[in-house]
Amino acid sequence: MLSKALMRSLFLPRGAFGKQALKYTGRALSAQPRDREIIKSRELEKEELRPLYMDFQATTPMDPRVLDAMLPYQVNYYGNPHSRTHAYGWESESAMEKARKQVADLIGADPREIIFTSGATESNNMSIKGVARFYKAKKKHIITTQTEHKCVLDSCRVLEAEGFEVTYLPVKINGLLDLKARSLPAKREICRSRNVFFHTDAAQAIGKIPIDVSDWKVDLMSISGHKIYGPKGVGALYVRRRPRVRLEPVQSGGGQERGLRSGTVPTPLAVGLGAACEIAQQEMEYDHKRVSVLAKRLVEKITSELPDVVMNGDPEQRYPGCINLSFAYVEGESLLMALKDVALSSGSACTSASLEPSYVLRAIGTDEDLAHSSIRFGIGRFTTEEEVDYTAEKCIQQVKRLREMSPLWEMVQEGIDLKSIKWTQH
């Protein structure tokens, strides 16, 4: 059933477009009674066939409160936020600036430091390429890590082709940099004292852990809407004003967003991002505690029933809702296919279509066979205990079944050390 608020927002006021009122009714609402029943039954069938969603690192479902905030700007308040000669533009601009403040408040920034983008990929491209190209006469060295998102690594490779020097730092087995007793803020302080710009891709951290850009001493930060229960197609880039960070715009146009990101800001999406940030700020502590309990429940259920399960990454310094497990002697892709009732991933969403093991797991030193047997479980705001229990039960069941079919597992059960075997290729 649609909520009353949602129903009200789906209808424009009578006379809004002349003599006839425009109504957004959707197929089911506009269908004849008999057809409506057929459509409803088909929708129920589809719903029953859909797997449980346990892939919250790939994307998150939109929070209904975010949708409530967005809908008026989809149908009633549709003015261009950059049109400053009439009320339609003023309404949209006011909503856009409110959203900008909501994003800024979540990370302890000034609203003037927030640039709306289409997502974290664009924000990463803007920050890395924009800063490098603006300061290329004086600064030609970029430092990143081997475990960054593909858009970060590819942006660095593009700059390498333009003549920049790029250093790809390795990480420890837990996925963290070897800071050699220096805290992360201390490292950033060194960067600040030597006029080195510090960028962080916070797409997977924003709204999940407390962030204060002043304490973190970052100069640029990328934000994604659909990772925090907001809409897809919108994100933001934090660009520090004092000391000022300069960027060369990546795209040309009308000079919106302080001249850094040309193009009309989509007001409904910006409003959705702002609402998602405000909700995250209010409920972050509760969400974190709840996700931690569910994650612990999932891991304990699986590891209590299955031997030879390895948790990848640091057990303490990580977001509890992101669980990457390797099931020895089981092919990850085979396990994914067996777990058709649960939506999971074998790697990052941007590269999970590849059969190659996660480059992140390889970077932290995971053995090739374990990297091939990894599965990522994503737990979020709307995950239930029942879903966690069902996922654990199905996972245990299918891993046992696949291991029974594995000659390697049989050899291990017989006490054979697989590393002592000299394998030959044909």
DSSP annotation of 248 reads: -
Element (DSSP H or E) covering residue 167: strand 165-169
Helix then strand then coil, in percent of the chain rounded to 5, is: 45, 10, 45
Contact (Cβ atoms closer than 8 angstroms) between residue 214 and residue 192: no
Region of 175 on the Ramachandran plot (φ > 0 left; ψ -120 to 50 alpha; else beta): left
Is there a catalytic annotation at residue 350? Answer: yes
Spatial separation of the C-alpha atoms in residues 103 and 281, rounded to whole Å: 10
- Contacts (Cβ under 8 Å, ≥6 apart) of 397: none
Which of 202, 133, 187 is closest to 164 using CA atoms?
Answer: 133
Spatial separation of the C-alpha atoms in residues 92 and 266, rounded to whole Å: 9
Which one of 151, 277, 350, 395 is the catalytic residue? Answer: 350
Please tell me whether residue 291 adopts helix, strand or coil conformation: helix
In 35-121 the beta strands, taken as DSSP E runs, fall at 52-53, 114-117
Spatial separation of the C-alpha atoms in residues 206 and 284, rounded to whole Å: 10
Spatial separation of the C-alpha atoms in residues 285 and 293, rounded to whole Å: 13
Rounded to the nearest angstrom, the gap between the alpha carbon of residue 326 and the centroid of all alpha carbons in its chain is 22
Rg over alpha carbons for the chain, rounded to the nearest Å, is: 25
DSSP annotation of 106 reads: H
Q: How many CA atoms lie within 13 A of 95 on its CB side?
A: 28
Residues serving a catalytic function are 350
